[in-house]
Amino acid sequence: MHIFVTGASGFVGSRLVQVLAARTDARVTVAARGSRFTCATAERVVRFEDLATASFSAELVGVDAVVHCAARVHVMNDLEADPLHAFRQVNVEGTLNLARQAAEAGVRRFVFLSSIKVNGEGSEPGVPFTADQPANPVDPYGVSKMEAEQRLRELAIATGMEVVIIRPVLVYGPGVKANFLSMMRWLYKGVPLPFGAIHNARSLVALDNLVDLTLLCLSHPAAANQTFMVSDGEDLSTTGLLRKMASALGKPARLLPVPAVLLSAAACMLGKRSLSQRLCGSLQVDIAKTRAVLGWTPPLSVEQALKLTASDYMENEKK
C-alpha cells in the first residue's frame, strides 16, 4: 500500500508517519510546507509553499490513499484582516486542490482530518455531538472545515474516490503544545490554580488513539464516505483532567474551589470568553457510530495516555 500524508511536520502528521513505519509495510510519501523539512522514514518528501496552488500530480500516481492533516489551524488572536478568507484559502481551496489531483491520479481513498468545530464550540451537558447531526460552526476555522467537508463529499460523488472524514476533539500526547502544555507546566511547578470546582464534561483524544483510528480508516471497507467522531471514550471535567494530569506528573494538584460562574465572569470581563468556554463549558462527542461501524475501541485509556504525555514532558524539562 502506498500512502500520501500531508502535514507530516505537524503534531498529528509526524506521529502518523512514525506509526505507519513501525506498524505497517506501507510505502509512505509525505508532503510538508517549506524547504527544510526532512523525514527519515518516508520513501519520498514533497515540499510545497501554497497548498491551494501546489502540484502533486506526479507524486500521487500509484498512491492508494491520502491522509490530509495539513491545515491552517485555529489561533487565539488571529491578526489576519479577513480570517475567514485566510482559512478558506488553505482549508478549503488547498484541500480541494489536493483532492482533485488525487482523484485524477486514481487514488482510491482520501482521509480528511477535520475538526469538532464543525459541530460547534460547546455541547449541552449530557447531550454529546454526533457525526451525522447538522453542522453548526461558530468561528472562521470551523466554517472552513465544514465547507471543505461539503466540497469533498461532492467530489466523492462526482469522481468515485472514497472520502473518510474524522472530526477530532482536543488532541493531546507527547509533544503537545499550547494550553495543554501550559497546564502541565503549572501543575509540575505546583502553582495553585482556581479550577477546583468546575463540573463540566469534555471529550479529549490521545494522539495515538487518533492515529490508530486514522490507520483503520485507510482500509476498512465500511469507512468509505463516512464521517466519524473520535475521542478516548471517557469524558472529564476540567477539574478531573487536572487531577489526573497531576497524578501522571507525580505532583499534588493544588486546585482552589473557585465557582465556575466567577471564573466565567472574570474571563468575559477580560475579553477571554473563548478561553472561559474551553475551561468551564462542556464539549462532548458520541463515538458510538465509530465503534459500531468500524469495530474500533480506543487502544489507550486516559490514564495511559496522560502517563505517556507526562513522561515526555518531564524528560524534556530535564534537558
Record the cell numbers describing residue 6, joined without a space. Answer: 500531508
Q: What is the DSSP letter of 65?
A: E
Contacts made by residues 86-89, CB under 8 angstroms, sequence distance 24+: 86/140, 87/140, 87/141, 87/143, 87/144, 88/144, 88/147, 89/52
Our separate counts of H helices and E strands in the chain read 12, 9
Give the DSSP H or E segment for 295. none
Question: What's phi and psi for 146, nearest 5 deg?
Answer: -60, -45
The total number of residues shown for the chain amounts to: 319
Q: Is residue 164 within 8 Å of 109, Cβ to Cβ?
A: yes
Record the cell numbers describing residue 180, joined without a space. Answer: 495543554
From first CA to last CA, the distance across the chain in angstroms is 39
Cα 109 from Cα 173, distance rounded (Å): 27
Q: Give the catalytic positions in this structure.
A: 141
